[in-house]
Amino acid sequence: MAFEKAERLKRLPPYLFQEIDRLKAELMARGIDVINLGVGDPDLPTPKHIIERLQEAVEDPATHQYPSYSGMNDFRVSVARWYRRRFGVELDPVREVLTLIGSKEGIAHFPFAFINPGDVALVPTPAYPVYHTTIMFAGGESHFMPLVRENRFLPDLDAIPAEVARKAVLMFINYPNNPTGATAERAFFEKVLDFACTNGIIVCHDAAYTEMAFDGYRPMSFLEIPGAKDVGIEFHSLSKTYNMTGWRLGFAVGNADILDGLGQIKSNIDSGAFNAVQMAGIAALEGDQSCVTEMQRVYRERRDTLIEGLRKVGLTPDLPKATFYVWCPTPPGYSSIQFTSLLLREAGIVTTPGSGFGPPGEGYVRMALTVDKGRIEEAVKRMEKLSF
């Protein structure tokens, strides 16, 4: 018996990476050593003290019951303390902090609280695909804000038509940025706040990469801007900061009324994050932060190795100040897919075509620093043997 899928699934963009996955599997089946620079998943282990706290918490039968959808009070207090220490931002743990089952979960559920069918959302492109997908699932329409190198991969708010700005309900921004590795400074966030206040727009800042920064650079929170809490919330995650991608723990902070809307959605959809994982999250946020410093050191070394190698073979990537991504222009004459295919077929190197993140990503590939330095050096050696 055949069953027809919902229209929302039919509207999903084509899976551009299907051929790449097929080629990767084919090469691996032939015994070819594949270097995977395509996955944005930390290869470093979760710090030991966090694992040990989870082990202790799991042994306590009290953690085995349903958690609160809004999160353990102790975890939310730890988030508020971390925000105060890290950004100087004061948060009410009860009303201005909401626990998430990873930041992706919160981002994906958020539009259902505020988007009605036909409403407009402002969405960057190229970008994390979930922004547009969840707007579409909620029945809204995305107005795309192109991120281009000439504008330092920041959206040009002045280019948004006035009638679109007036209709827009919410805006997604993401700095440090995936996939471009770009960063944003105070002047940009101030402009976003002014734009949002003028047009009555909710600002949703995906800040998952603020702790993955190098060379003394300290990314700021949107909520550091006076008045930002009037219109905005910020999504954060323990995934990248503490190498906890599989643990699924994050949080949203900011405007209490906005968070209440997300909380209402969550209370009807999920049952909250496992309490033992939240206890481990407390250990991460409150514990020794030298693990974060070490993580930054490792990725900085990998970044420098890859950037030097790419420039040596004639490519022209910018040096990212944050994230573990390198956004590399393709050689002249190659599309994103063509260059991705060349690297995979001829060198056994997996990268992600920029076009898969949105049309302005055409002409770029994203490389993730999620293999050790030796593998990056090997990838560069393989590229040196190619003609492009």
CATH of the domain at 323: 3.90.1150.10
Q: Percent of the chain, pLDDT > 70? A: 98
The CA dihedral of 188, 194, 195, 197, to the nearest 10 degrees, is 140
CA–CA–CA angle 156, 161, 164 (5° rounding): 110
- The 10s digit of each residue's pLDDT in 203-220 is 999 999 999 999 999 999
Quick one: average pLDDT of 282-303? 98
Tokens 């900011």: give the residue: 254
Least confident piece of the model among 27-36, 132-141, 312-321? 27-36
328 in the same domain as 259: no
Domain annotation covers residue 149 = yes
Backbone angles phi, psi at 312, to 5 degrees: -65, -35
Put the strands of the sheet holding 97-100 in their side by side order: 97-100, 250-254, 232-237, 202-206, 168-174, 120-125, 141-146
Among 255, 286, 317, the domain boundary falls at: 286
CATH number of the domain where residue 143 is located = 3.40.640.10
- The 10s digit of each residue's pLDDT in 37-65 is 998 889 999 999 999 999 999 999 999 99
The CA dihedral of 299, 302, 307, 312, to the nearest 10 degrees, is 170
pLDDT band for position 92 (cuts 50, 70, 90): very high
38 in the same domain as 172: no
Domain annotation covers residue 2 = no
Predicted pLDDT of residue 151: 97
253 in the same domain as 105: yes
Tokens 């921004």: give the residue: 173
Quick one: average pLDDT of 71-76? 95
Cβ(170)–Cβ(122) under 8 Å? yes
184 in the same domain as 122: yes
The Cα diameter of the chain in Å comes to: 61
The pTM assigned to this predicted structure is 0.95
Among 286, 303, 336, the domain boundary falls at: 286
Among 286, 312, 344, the domain boundary falls at: 286
133 in the same domain as 205: yes
76 in the same domain as 34: no
185 in the same domain as 263: yes
Q: Is the pLDDT of residue 236 over 80?
A: yes
Predicted pLDDT of residue 285: 98
- The 10s digit of each residue's pLDDT in 319-371 is 999 999 999 999 999 999 999 999 999 999 999 999 999 999 999 999 999 99
98 in the same domain as 207: yes
3-class secondary structure per residue, 172-192 = EEECCCCCCCCCCCHHHHHHH
Domain annotation covers residue 1 = no
Predicted pLDDT of residue 18: 66
301 in the same domain as 219: no
343 in the same domain as 323: yes
**How many folded domains does the chain comprise?**
2
201 in the same domain as 81: yes
Predicted pLDDT of residue 314: 96
Domain that holds residue 107: 48-286
Domain annotation covers residue 168 = yes
269 in the same domain as 365: no
Predicted pLDDT of residue 16: 61
pLDDT band for position 15 (cuts 50, 70, 90): low
